[in-house]
Amino acid sequence: MLQSLSAALAEISLPQLALIAGMALIASIIGGVAGYGTGALMPLVLVPIVGAEPVVPILSLSALLTNTGRATAFWSLVDGRRALIALLAAVPTCVLGAWGYTMLTGKGAALVIGAMLVATVPLRRLMRRRGLALSSRGLAAACFGWGPLAGGTLGAGILLLSLLMAAGLEGAAVVATDAVISIGIGLAKLTTFGLAGVVNATVVAIALLIGGVAFPGAFLAKRLIERLPLHVHTAILGAVVIGGGAAMILNAFAR
């Protein structure tokens, strides 16, 4: 097993591995502060290196480590009831979304990922501007609809943050509860991708690299979360997400 993982990483140059590791650490810190980051930023370096198709499986596996670190760091703030409601509603449709992703071609995967990244920023702002409030039933219904996006795209975590805030969570409690939900979603996606045969040695090796580097980022973020203005991180990440998503869409059409 170790030999196959080493062989998979050997196919990627050292500068590329360093770029992946560096972005993983940065994304994990931003994600720990703002509640999202890894799913939005990592495709910007992964797609040019490994292609679009394996990106969602890679980040589904690495997310188990990054979100475990985040959940551990903020465990006392997790809202267990809302996390359970979200998981029960989202997992079934998440599996359908993940299965649908395995049917996409390279161009189709790039278009879906890019479009999702571009759309998530204005959608989140629109939800916040309108002051959307969700009851427990409303949260369940919204998460049921969110499930396919979580299963088949990247960047959908931004929408989950908006749903949790609309359900009444604030501050670090949003980050903590999002992490727990994301662990459950990650397990569902990983199981689906495994059954579909899209989890290979390269996927596992890169995911472990990202997860291993990113795990400490949650604890660094915990120290920063009360010192740095959240709106600054949100604005910067939003610009990066939209720009990166647009670039991926253009590249897909250029194929």
Contact between residue 27 and residue 214 where contact means Cβ atoms under 8 Å apart = yes
Show the DSSP H helices in the chain as ranges: 2-10, 14-34, 38-50, 55-73, 80-101, 106-129, 136-152, 157-166, 172-196, 201-214, 217-224, 230-254
Token pair of 71 as six digits? 């959940």
Would you state the structure tokens that stand for residue 120, as one six-digit string?
Answer: 């998530």
- Closest to 252 in 3D by CA, of 47, 24, 90, 2: 47
Give CA–CA dist 55/215, Å, rounded.
Answer: 19
pLDDT of 170? 77
Predicted pLDDT of residue 100: 81
What's the pLDDT score for residue 91?
A: 94
pLDDT of residue 122: 78
Per-residue pLDDT of the chain (255 residues; tens, 9 = 90+): 566 666 667 778 888 889 998 988 888 887 777 666 677 788 888 888 888 778 878 888 888 888 888 888 889 989 999 999 999 999 999 988 888 877 665 667 667 767 766 776 677 677 767 766 678 999 999 899 889 888 877 667 777 877 887 888 877 788 889 899 999 998 888 888 888 777 788 888 888 888 888 878 878 877 776 676 767 656 665 666 677 677 767 766 765
In this prediction, residue 81 carries a pLDDT of 95
The C-alpha atoms of residue 131 and residue 128 are separated, in whole angstroms, by 5
Distance separating alpha carbons of residues 107 and 52, to the nearest angstrom: 8
Q: Is-above-0.75 flag for pTM?
A: no
Contact 116, 158 (CB under 8 A): no
